[in-house]
Amino acid sequence: MADIILYELSGCPYCAKVTSKLDELGVEYESREVPRSHSERTEVEEISGQTGVPVIIDEAHDIHGMPESDDIVDHLETHYA
């Protein structure tokens, strides 16, 4: 099982930015597709406190619900580059 779980939505440009960085760095991750409706994103809200995506969990670095694509990319570059 991968240490990183990525909550994402198909067609989301911010999610694509994160998946591109993960692929560029060769980092294995588990993708979890979220519902299109924000009101149905209860799992993401429980983890991160908000319903937007992308959101990651990175068990190896004690991250349990990091939102915001720029912050996620910075985290990935710091810890996986």
- Kindly report the pTM of this predicted structure: 0.93
Identify the helix (H) or strand (E) that includes residue 6.
strand 4-8
Q: Where are the domains of the chain?
A: 1-55
What pLDDT is attached to residue 70? Answer: 98
What pLDDT is attached to residue 2? Answer: 74
Query: What would the pLDDT profile of 19-45 be if each residue is shown by its tens digit?
Result: 999 999 999 999 999 999 999 999 999
* Eight-class DSSP state of 34: P
The bridge status of strand 29-33 relative to strand 4-8 is parallel
Let me know if domain 1-55 sits in CATH 3.40.50.300.
Answer: no
